[in-house]
Amino acid sequence: MTAVGPEGRIPVLDIGPYLAGAPGALEQLARHVARSCEDTGFLVLANHGIEPRLIEECFAAARRFFDLPAERKLPLKVGELNIGYLPPGTQTIRTSRIHDNRKPNLNESFYIVRDRAPDDPDILAGKPFVGLNKWPDGMPEFRAATTAYFGAMQTLAHRMLAVFSAALGMPPDYLYRDFRDPTCTLRLIRYQPQPRDAEDQFGFAPHIDTNLTTYLAQSEVPGLEVRTKEGTWIRPPAIPGTFVVNSGEMLGRYSNDRFAPTPHRVINHSGRLRHAIPFFYGPDNDAVIEVVPSCIGPGNPPRYGPLLYADHRRRLNVTNFAHRQAAAGAPQAST
Ligand SMILES: O=C(O)CCC(=O)C(=O)O
Ligand SMILES: [Fe+2]
């Protein structure tokens, strides 16, 4: 059986049989995924095959990094490409249609993209959106742990594409055409504990993710909340070792809004620091995202035209980040 664990609104899905190639497992999993993507847009994956050590070491790396003094973190500050360190108080989510966010998020972040060598052909060619990671000096284990985790997550997200294709009602290989060189980001986040009486203050203000799917290793400290269609906020099942997965804007687009991305937020009332290590998975920069044929029909025309993913990213680039607004003079995405 695919569903395991406490039967809540957000299902816990055992993907072991699918990964092992058990007959019928893909179809069964896809049905569960479709159902929850139509509902909360969140699911929890168990038996995903990622070694616990990789997850633990990535969390440990995040803790060590954020514990560094500011003068060691600030030289790694993000630039145009959003790679590196985003200090506290520098991201205000302004795109949200759910919430008029005014205060910056109470978190600091560190963004890691696919690790490349300085002589990588795409770096040398100056390909748009391609850049080098910024690594802290003297911490080789930080780079080793985060890139190992990144690689494992990219493989898992890639294998799950077949399930999302089937959930969309398409052949399992359908989405792969747009994910030959996927846009992946690992974001390490540290949330400060926040006072209970601070109004309109969030660790991460209500937002939707702008990519295809996001994979969140379960944080030790709770705080992530998901907005249901009825407008209530619920927490995903906190089962250690599992992944919380949520759909983003691109799944919404492929599916003609059948799988709409779900607003979520983080409020850290634990009194402790909270760490998170979301892995964002998105299409190729040169992919043209189009509503899939199975989600169009008589009386259900495509709500979206073709979208070049690079254009989507360009548009988001001048939005939620103080450093980019200053450069672009425009307000407004989550990652
Ligand atoms: O910290 C979390 O649990 C969620 C973070 C998140 O939603 C994001 O980075 O987009
Ligand atoms: Fe998010």
Residues 129-183: tens digit of each pLDDT: 999 999 999 999 999 999 999 999 999 999 999 999 999 999 999 999 999 999 9
The residue-averaged pLDDT of 259-281 equals 96
What is the model's pLDDT at position 330? 31
Q: List the residue whose alpha carbon is closest to atom 5 of ligand 1.
A: 278
User: Average pLDDT for residues 3-20, to the nearest whole number?
Assistant: 83
Q: How far apart are CA 248 and CA 277, in angstroms?
A: 17
**Residue ranges per structural domain of the chain:** 2-328
Specify the residue with its C-alpha closest to ligand 1, atom 4. Answer: 224
pLDDT at 2 over 60: no
Atom number in ligand 1 closest to CA 203: 1
104 pLDDT tier (thresholds 50, 70, 90): confident
Mean pLDDT, rounded, for 310-334 = 60
| pLDDT at residue 333, rounded to an integer | 46
Q: Which CATH architecture has domain 2-328?
A: Sandwich (2.60)
pLDDT at 198: 77
* pLDDT recorded at residue 218: 98
- Confidence at residue 327, expressed as pLDDT on a 0 to 100 scale: 41
Ligand 1 atom nearest 107 alpha carbon: 1
Per-residue pLDDT tens over the stretch 200-211: 889 999 999 999
pLDDT at 99: 59
Contact residues of ligand 1, CB 6 A cut-off: 187, 189, 204, 209, 216, 219, 224, 264, 266, 276, 278, 334
Residue 228 CA, ligand 1 centroid: distance in Å: 16
Does residue 26 have a pLDDT over 70?
yes
Measure 121 CA to ligand 1 centroid, in angstroms. Answer: 32
98: pLDDT strictly greater than 90:
no
Backbone conformation region of residue 5, classed left if phi is above 0, alpha if psi is from -120 to 50, else beta = left
What's the pLDDT band for 95 if we cut at 50, 70, 90?
A: low
- E strand residue ranges, the chain: 3-4, 12-14, 42-46, 84-86, 107-112, 183-191, 204-207, 213-217, 224-227, 233-234, 243-247, 264-266, 274-276, 279-282, 288-289, 307-308
Report CA(201)–ligand 1 centroid distance (Å).
Answer: 15
What distance in angstroms lies between residue 298's CA and the mean position of ligand 2's atoms? 34
Output the CA angle 183-185-186, nearest 5 degrees: 155
Q: Cα of 297 to ligand 2 centre, how many Å? A: 31
- The whole-chain average pLDDT of the chain stands at 91
Q: The whole model's pTM is what?
A: 0.93
Counting ligand 1 atoms within 8 A of each CB, the residue from 101, 189, 213 with the most, and so the one to mutate, is 189
pLDDT higher than 80, residue 115:
yes
At 84-93, the pLDDT tens digits run 999 998 766 6
* Residue 269, token pair as written in the block: 């009332």
Q: How confident is the model at residue 258 (pLDDT cuts 50, 70, 90)?
A: very high
* pLDDT exceeds 90 at position 118: yes
